[in-house]
Structure 1
């Protein structure tokens, strides 16, 4: 590897599963028990732990395995929501955007976007909206919005189709490594005293009278069943929240309508040659009114995204052929080098947990672009707190809202200690450290202040692939909750999302190292089948 460790942060906490399970099942009543290890649940657990509450978090699969690892990798205020009149939502998200970037600057950074204009009046119309976007950010702005002529636009985004190009507008948002940020949230919550454990599923709720008093849980690895007691249970399972809240409703004799309207977003990953440079493309309105992005990320380019309503919510959603067709067709309209199916290195989908309005004709008609991106917090008669909707950028605001509702309606005790909103996540570089852009290939820089600890592990000088060493796999097993090949190659490293064929080729060596570290079956065959799916462009 070419980059070198440059700083030494605090020693990383171990994530030895036997110790975490022992802590989890020890007789006690937790203040808060969070179900769901995505952005929302991890945000709730971290905020509660920082306030001095005793917190346990359970995730049925891996941290961020659902929606929270399948985003467009953008930390944003929501440009398209301006036209819908959601100004307060946009303003809140823009300020949360700044806070998130400051908490983990090695994993979340400013990113310049360019919106090209091909039609008369397009530049002025969208430029005015982007100026408003900058104004709403106020002191949290990441950079100035600039109007570009045709020549400046071509220079800013070399991969753009130049025929008919009139000019463009450059503005600023942020980008991040969503899965690694989720792991950083989990590890920071643990640093604050929370007990976080993945691959533990909730089988049902425990009641005392008509109040939720805990959960029945199962350790997926050992098949061990146990109970956990808590003053308050938070259902933060994203697009799957209705399973637990409707079970709670049945216990109370209620037939609850669904709270979530799932929407599928598909992304295709291609080589950086299709979109060279360090700026992203935004097309705010394609031929059918959808939004197209081309985002340079970890040495590749993400193309997307679709916004397709669906009735079901599978754990591993897959792109539909027509969604792939749309992305490739629209990318071909704007990219000088048009990508084809055979150019796609990885194709993947995620489900957005859009909060369903009480009576949403938009959701019923499948027009999920019109369904609110705002989050919802619901407290049932039993005291179960359910939080869903929103987006990655506002995870902290969602956590504060959920905890506020838990205190006032579910009986959660007041905070033992108050904490400033400005804090750093585990691994955040020390002040003045040189940062590497997230458009660059993965490497040591993604480990921030923990680089020296990583390089002290066996295999630090043995690369499995560019940007991935044996030591990184060992670090994932010892300090980042990784239990399987998928955990490592999909979310600790992002190889599966970037190049599925390469991920499959690396899988046997990763499995061998995990077996050495953990002494368990790391599910190699299951991952190889998954990698085949990601590499197959429907």
Structure 2
């Protein structure tokens, strides 16, 4: 269905069961779950799907080794189970990844090894591989590029890796297949609650058209922006304390193996990851509180210095600013606690509040998006906002383009990335332009596919989220952008917003 046809359809609707505001991990998870339960569902995202925090994770699908150390055992149990669920339902987008925790002191291998053995035991049948204690030579072999001076050995363990933005697109497409109507670039201007219904006034940010939608229930899943949508009268203190996480991307030569590296405790008590992803290496992250919530947050100089300094301690080749290929910042919607509490100590669990027909859900993380959605819908039903429907339908529900059991997987970091298209790859190869390479594994057929099947409307949609060029090498993404803009125009996109994307490239390339 064409975008204008979707708008015409929505404008003719009488009342839907559920309207979801927010097209990130949580909102899309709610839309899919509700549609599978047989509810009528619409979803509005003011920018692109996963345009905020949901595309800016460390790309790890994990149970939370750090949460284990903090004693949050229920969260670890839940996340480990959900890790297996996501890897089953989106096997083209999520695979196992080996990690090595290097040891530079005699006590580190037995101490951290014991904790990671417990991590294995908690995963039970959902474990991805055994934890092993490593000697020096084996640690060097698995981490070519690690600092050899003083290295005594290490611990190998397994977790998951995924493509966050493409998982969001798979959720959006799956929700539509299940009967939901999902719309990006649709801004909710206001919500009125009266007579047991919410009335939403929504504006299309592409062409300026406004429509009105009535819903029995509205789910507010806007991440760090949830407090802005909550009722103004009688509102308690904010639900969210935003925390900023910075990631830097460098060439794989800094750590050339297939394993990721984890430093469990840096000089100031944080965690540092060095994660191979799509031919590059992600370094991060930080946990810095901030009061403002910009759409495109910028890293602080001290955050960049921290990551570079700590990475240079554990890698044999020092990492400098000029080595950065891309940098991005995500704002975590942490559940607010007492004023002054460190964001690193705040819970990663989610919270749900029901107020005047609005169900606000925030907190959590990508790995647990599915139980967050289930919990939000169950609370909406308990509040009488939705009819009672049985849940649990998403647990074994394969997402669009997920291969069937038995088909061979491809490592997530292996170029050129065709595996990310899953079962759609064959049809994309038959599309016009499959032989025309644009760069970084992207070809013209893929761009056409992203417009026709994956809701892409701007150059940024294509090069930031449908294909991850901006997140891997911002300067190279800028050179690809004009050709992508031309292809978008050929596909009928009137405003590909090339200038906006080139400005974004300068930010990600640390040139702003």
TM range (shorter): over 0.9
User: How far did 1:84 drift?
Assistant: 1.4
Corresponding residue to 1:99 among 73, 82, 85: 85
**CA RMSD, Structure 1 to Structure 2 (Å):** 1.3
Paired position in structure 2 for 1:492: 466
Distance 1:173 1:417 in 2: 27
Paired position in structure 1 for 2:345: 370
* Contact residue 477 and residue 518 of structure 1 kept, 8 A: no
Paired position in structure 1 for 2:308: 328
User: How far did 1:108 drift?
Assistant: 0.5
* Contact residue 223 and residue 333 of structure 2 kept, 8 A: yes
Matches within 5 A, 1:55-454: 55-209=41-195, 211-245=196-230, 248=231, 250=232, 253-357=233-337, 360-361=338-339, 364-365=340-341, 367-380=342-355, 382-415=356-389, 419=393, 421-454=395-428
Paired position in structure 2 for 1:4: none
Matches within 5 A, 1:453-532: 453-532=427-506
Distance 1:32 1:397 in 2: 18
Distance 2:318 2:114 in 1: 30
Distance 2:189 2:156 in 1: 49
Query: Please, which moves more after superposition, 218-227 or 493-502?
Result: 218-227
Distance 1:529 1:312 in 2: 21
* Contact residue 193 and residue 357 of structure 2 kept, 8 A: no
Distance 2:240 2:391 in 1: 34
**SS of structure 2 residue aligned to 1:201:** strand
Deviations 1:477-506 (A, max 9, x none): 000000000000000010000000011001
Q: Indicate how the Cα distance of structure 1 residues 519 and 163 shifts in structure 2: closer, same or farther if over 3 A, else same.
A: closer
User: How far did 1:269 drift?
Assistant: 0.4
Deviations 1:220-266 (A, max 9, x none): 11211221111100000011100001xx1x2xx31321100100000
**SS of structure 2 residue aligned to 1:82:** helix
Highest RCO, 1 vs 2 (Cα 8 Å, sep ≥ 6): 1
5+ residue gaps, structure 2: none
Q: TM-score, normalised by structure 2?
A: 0.98
* Contact residue 227 and residue 240 of structure 2 kept, 8 A: yes
User: How far did 1:22 drift?
Assistant: 1.9
Query: Please, which moves more after superposition, 437-446 or 267-276?
Result: 437-446
Give the 4+ runs in structure 1 shifted more than 3 A. none
**SS of structure 2 residue aligned to 1:44:** helix
Query: Please, which moves more after superposition, 80-89 or 426-435?
Result: 426-435
Deviations 1:373-429 (A, max 9, x none): 00001111x121000000000000100000000100142101278736212111111
5+ residue gaps, structure 1: 1-13
Paired position in structure 2 for 1:534: 508
Q: How many pairs were matched up?
A: 512
Distance 2:122 2:116 in 1: 10
Q: Indicate how the Cα distance of structure 1 residues 216 and 189 shifts in structure 2: closer, same or farther if over 3 A, else same.
A: same
Paired position in structure 2 for 1:5: none
Query: Please, which moves more after superposition, 461-470 or 389-398?
Result: 461-470
User: How far did 1:82 drift?
Assistant: 1.2
* Contact residue 216 and residue 357 of structure 2 kept, 8 A: no
Q: TM-score, normalised by structure 1?
A: 0.93
Corresponding residue to 2:21 among 27, 32, 35: 35
* Contact residue 274 and residue 335 of structure 1 kept, 8 A: yes
Distance 1:537 1:144 in 2: 43
Distance 1:394 1:61 in 2: 23
Distance 1:523 1:410 in 2: 43
User: How far did 1:181 drift?
Assistant: 0.6
